[in-house]
Amino acid sequence: MTVRKNQATLTADEKKRFVDAVLALKRSGRYDEFVRTHNAFIMADTDTGERTGHRSPSFLPWHRRFLLDFEQALQSVDSSVALPYWDWSTDRTVRAALWAPDFLGGTGRSTDGRVLDGPFAASAGNWPMTIRVDGRPFLRRSLGTAVRELPTRAEVESVLSISTYDMAPYNSASDGFRNNLEGWRGVNLHNRVHVWVGGHMATGVSPNDPVFWLHHAFVDKLWAEWQRRHPDAAYVPAGGTPDVVDLNDTMKPWNDVRPADLLDHTKYYTFDS
């Protein structure tokens, strides 16, 4: 059984194995397929039309399947690798361990956001931007510039206390746990982290930055925590809802998996705590 660990507890060997597997997927071209898929859904998901990966109840199960596919791709390179998660409510500064040169590297330079250290810096020669939003071929970050503060644990707790999964109109205007976690309402958790990292993470091609996977692994963990606290709170909508993925509808682009199939993460992996 795969165990997803807090990145702050990873050994040097675990960090290296994760980085090496990510770089191997990049060399093979498989990594960029994940970037392309995510960008396609960011561009297509709208509040007034069909929405699957974002702005909708299926935000959480869609990303759970997306992360599972990526984790399994990593494990096809190195079976020992699991997705780590970044608890941004605790590791909240630019000096946190994940930004060190031996893991993800740090922030970008002030002039153009170019990441200058770590295995994903352009100077290392292993991380060209193939799926771009502009002509710049290098990974970009701007940690803590567009927004200064990452979410606090108190803010996380306030969202975990919401007892309803989602509600009409099932988009970015909805109340409920899903939308408060996604960040269109309330204290803004998931969206704020994307903007805090900046650079590619603030765009549809956010998986160009490997921190995307650590961020979403923590979002996924928060969903699991919420499920434990609210065992009687069901995924909604259950059926007959236009433009969104109901409980037993299949999700694009896979068309073989339903939110109902992904409610229990323990069939696939556990967390270290």
> pLDDT tens digits, residue range 176-197?
999 999 999 999 999 999 999 9
Tell me the domain boundaries of the chain.
Answer: 2-104+143-268
Computed from CA positions of residues 33, 245, 42, 3, in that sequence, does the dihedral angle turn out positive or negative?
Answer: negative
For residues 120-125, give the mean pLDDT. Answer: 96
Burial of 75 (0-12, 13-18, 19+ CB in 10 A): middle
Integer Cα distance of 196 and 238 in angstroms: 34
**pLDDT above 90: residue 87:** yes
- Please check whether residue 220 is in contact with residue 164, taking contact to mean a CB–CB distance below 8 angstroms: no
The pLDDT mean for the chain works out to 98
- Please check whether residue 163 is in contact with residue 127, taking contact to mean a CB–CB distance below 8 angstroms: no
Integer Cα distance of 185 and 169 in angstroms: 13
The radius of gyration of the chain's CA atoms, rounded to the nearest angstrom, is 18
For residues 52-60, give the mean pLDDT. Answer: 98
Query: Which pLDDT belongs to residue 244?
Result: 98
CA distances in angstroms from 235 to 22, 60, 161, 180, 190, listed in the order given: 32, 10, 16, 15, 19
Q: What percentage of the chain carries pLDDT values higher than 90?
A: 99
Q: What percentage of the chain carries pLDDT values higher than 70?
A: 100
Tell me which architecture the domain covering 2-104+143-268 has in CATH: Orthogonal Bundle (1.10)
Integer Cα distance of 161 and 174 in angstroms: 16
Long-range contacts of 76-81 (CB under 8 A, 24+ apart): 77/20, 77/21, 77/24, 77/25, 78/17, 78/20, 78/21, 78/24, 80/17, 81/17, 81/18, 81/21
Query: Which pLDDT belongs to residue 273?
Result: 84
Integer Cα distance of 10 and 15 in angstroms: 6
**pLDDT above 90: residue 248:** yes
**pLDDT above 90: residue 92:** yes
Question: Which of 228, 241, 218, 245 has the alpha carbon at shortest distance from 150?
Answer: 218
For residues 93-105, give the mean pLDDT. Answer: 97
Beta bridge partners of 4: 271
For residues 102-111, give the mean pLDDT. Answer: 97
**pLDDT above 90: residue 67:** yes
Q: Which helix (H) or strand (E) holds 2?
A: strand 2-4
pTM of the model: 0.98
Band (pLDDT 50/70/90 cuts) for residue 228 is very high
Residues 139-156 have pLDDT tens digits of 999 999 999 999 999 999
Integer Cα distance of 134 and 151 in angstroms: 29
